[in-house]
Amino acid sequence: MKRILIADDEKDVLNILQKRLKNSNYDVNAATTGKEAIDLARSEKPDLMLLDIMLPDTDAYTLISSIKEDKTLKDVPILLITGKELILGTIEQRASELGVCGYLMKPFSFEDILARIKEVIG
């Protein structure tokens, strides 16, 4: 069973994604802070990380830099998720620079996120 780590400060988003992904046969762990996310990633070794761009203690870009510096996590695929009205070009450029697989803008449908997950890890 593929393992997914979700980091998002919106508990409703976490709960819904966690429940729906478990029902789709994924093992799911959830974090609400960057520190919690990196600690869980190190202990659980996910096959994919879904990271909100803004977390209470850090932003995803800083978190991704830490992940990429960790030799046990550097190859884990990452998808960014955001509800912020940000300039898409900025997200695309930063995502590309950091080597993430892509991003999804909130609100997204579960079918959209599931399709992206399946593209990346099956």
What's the sign of the alpha-carbon dihedral 94, 99, 101, 107?
negative
Full residue range of the structural domain in which residue 59 is found:
3-121
From 77, 83, 39, select the one nearest 57 (Cα to Cα).
39
CATH of the domain at 8: 3.40.50.2300
Backbone angles phi, psi at 102, to 5 degrees: 155, -165
- The length of the chain, given as a count of residues: 122
Q: What's the total number of domains in the chain?
A: 1
Question: Measured between alpha carbons, how far is 82 from 93 in angstroms, rounded to an integer?
Answer: 15
pTM, 2 dp: 0.90
The model's pLDDT over 10-61, given as tens digits with 9 standing for 90+, comes to 899 899 999 999 999 999 999 999 999 999 999 999 999 999 888 999 987 8
